[in-house]
């Protein structure tokens, strides 16, 4: 069997998604568009109902109840080496920092009344306080250690 290189699937709005060569023919049987969520989506009829399908779920044939995580955070990188099945909790662990983050580091916030920084992490539905620090870098180091401990392969800093 001949190895097929990754291929680009053209989407709307000048966007494209990457897929493995072995998935290209199957994926391009559908017309895909770039959705405002950042995903490649197609409209399909399944069991007589019109539905929207996300390319990454189609590629992994994701079962109901599980999500598909993009390891590198790029929602258009649908190479199998970048996709993994996960729970909602695991998917949240692999999030980037929030857009309104002011410390520059995931899991780190500044105390308003002094020049101190707090690090915390979510694990099993509870927030764990990791400490108060004199710099955002020290707080970030504490977050990284905790993320590796609690989030393992889903840790993202």
Tell me the mean pLDDT in the region 121-137. 90
In the three-class reduction of DSSP (H, G, I as helix; E, B as strand; rest coil), residue 40 is classed as strand
Q: How confident is the model at residue 66 (pLDDT cuts 50, 70, 90)?
A: very high
Q: How confident is the model at residue 12 (pLDDT cuts 50, 70, 90)?
A: very high
- The four Cα atoms 143, 145, 151, 157 give a dihedral, to 10 degrees, of 50
Q: Residue 71: how many CB atoms within 10 A of its CB?
A: 16
Domains, the chain, ordered by start: 7-86 (3.90.75.20), 97-154 (3.30.730.10)
User: Contact 147/157 with Cβ under 8 angstroms?
Assistant: yes
In the three-class reduction of DSSP (H, G, I as helix; E, B as strand; rest coil), residue 92 is classed as helix
**pLDDT of res. 27:** 96
């Amino acid at each position: 069997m001949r190895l097929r290189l990754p291929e680009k699937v053209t989407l709307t709005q000048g966007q494209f998604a990457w897929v493995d060569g072995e998935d290209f023919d199957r994926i391009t049987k559908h017309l895909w568009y770039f959705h405002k969520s950042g995903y490649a989506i197609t409209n399909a009829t399944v069991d007589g109902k019109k539905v929207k399908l996300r390319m990454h779920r189609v590629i992994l044939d994701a079962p109901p109840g599980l999500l598909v995580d993009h390891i590198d955070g790029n929602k258009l990188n649908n190479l199998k080496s970048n996709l993994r099945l996960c729970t909602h909790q695991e998917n949240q662990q692999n999030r980037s920092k929030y857009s309104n983050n002011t410390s520059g580091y995931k899991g780190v916030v500044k105390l308003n009344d002094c020049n101190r920084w707090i690090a915390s992490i979510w694990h099993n539905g509870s927030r764990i306080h990791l400490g108060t620090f004199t710099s955002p870098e020290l707080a970030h180091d504490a977050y990284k250690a905790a993320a590796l401990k609690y989030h393992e392969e889903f840790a993202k800093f």
